[in-house]
Amino acid sequence: MSKEIRQLEPTQLWNKFADLNAVPRPSKKEERVIAFMKNFGKNLGLETIEDAVGNVIIKKPATAGMEHRTTVVMQSHLDMVHQKNSDTVFNFDTQGIDMYVEGDWVKAKGTTLGADNGLGVATIMAILESTNIAHPAIEALFTIDEETGMTGAMGLKGGLLSGGILLNLDTEEDDEIGVGCAGGIDVTATRTYTEEETPEFKIGFKINVKGLQGGHSGMQIHEGLGNANKIMNRLLFDGFENFGLRISEIDGGSLRNAIPRESKAIVAIDAMHEDAFLLETQHLVNTIKTEYKTMEPDLEVTISKCDTPKNVMDLGVQEGLIRAIYAALNGVYRMSADIPDLVETSNNIARVIVKNGAIKIGCLTRSSVESSKIDLANSLRATFELTGCEVEYSGDYPGWTPNMDSAILKVMAKLYEDLNGTKPHVAACHAGLECGILGQNYPEMDMISFGPNIKGAHSPDERAQISSVQKYWRFVLEILKAIPEKN
């Protein structure tokens, strides 16, 4: 862990971030970070609770003179997305994040940084540990598993919190005050198929799509970034149509909430078509690179000979698969009619696995409108069912409906303008925040979301802007001083 991180201002926040990033904290494997957070609260002598699902709540009394202010829930999630470059040797289960400073940015060496949502967690830790920061009574809520199901927020029972205001510290633009977010649902298509012995006179090739930026499948879905699964399928479709290409294996993408950066496939073609196949496929690769030259300048596609695979997919199943993936929507489905420039509904074809007689396709469908979310999910379901897949919905969570009459919104909007001389961007986002879920058991709680500038979340290019963290920290301190009195 670089010492230079701990010397950044505000030191109390960056030191807590460095402490947190030394603890492995993958989603669904949060045992170590839960223990870390419980020890942190208990060592401060504060009331510390672990609920039935693993969320940690730490309660701190108000500072002198702030006892009559409304109790504030400060909330962030403990888990982080684990992504690394293919050439990076790193074990997320055992290693802490290796951070460094480059100009005005904190980055990680070949992996995700964990600023999403580690900077929010570190902010709350710094407030809890402080002895000179004025604040009302605080209930610090550290949820688990936000990135792969939001099961922590879903499992939080009513009655554990008494706060009237919730500050969610999980937004990634420092001029934005979040008042709403998208809900989501996982759409998973599966089927089995009969493997066939590879016909005679076939030769094997390995196709590798890599070098894409990846990124957040909600916040960046509208940017036109390349999806490795769709690009790979385009190559396979062309090879099948023109040369009778047969598929042996596909392994594309990783996490549902990350735009796929890489995909690999093992295929077979007739030996007599080798030269024509390579020429045609390279021509298509060049075309795709031209299409993506602005957004994906580092896109790389390699096609190399390999041992001829022993088995390939059943021909009819293969044809249905590549046509279904071609037809399945990836990207923006509908823009909001009510909020300018807001993506309402989208889909990310996140994972494609074909191997040993089994197909699995994983999608994350998001929308701020429940009916539109289900409409797109049903469209995907119909597409995959037409090719014989079984389709399952899971991980369904609600969106967060904007409340433009929010009392804390009015306080924060004025504070932001006073501090920065410009009005904040009050907006809903196309990411999944926990506010909508938490609001189900705490419907009277006034909720808001904000945070510092974080770029490239959910990818190894994730980075946090140092000057923005300083701006955000000043905002946090002023908000806590301005919390209104209890009704």
Q: Quick one: how many helices (H) and strands (E) in the chain? A: 12, 23
Tokens of 467: 């000057």
Contact 93, 31 (CB under 8 A): no
8 A C-beta contact, residue 156 and residue 77: no
CA distance 5 to 17: 9
DSSP state for residue 271 in the 8-state scheme: G
Closest listed residue to residue 187, CA positions, set 361, 434, 397: 361
Asked if residues 356 and 313 have their Cβ atoms less than 8 Å apart, the reply is: no
Question: Quick one: 218 exposed, middle or buried, by C-beta within 10 A (0-12, 13-18, 19+)?
Answer: buried
Q: Cβ distance 233 to 241 under 8 Å?
A: no
**Alpha-carbon distance 451 to 167, whole Å?**
10
Q: Which residues are annotated as catalytic? A: 79, 146
Quick check: 322 and 233 in contact, CB under 8 A?
yes
Write the DSSP assignment of 73-93 as a string of letters: EEEEES-B---B-TT----TT
Q: Decide: 119 and 451 in contact? Cβ < 8 Å.
A: yes
Cα three-residue angle 292-361-372, rounded to 5 degrees: 80
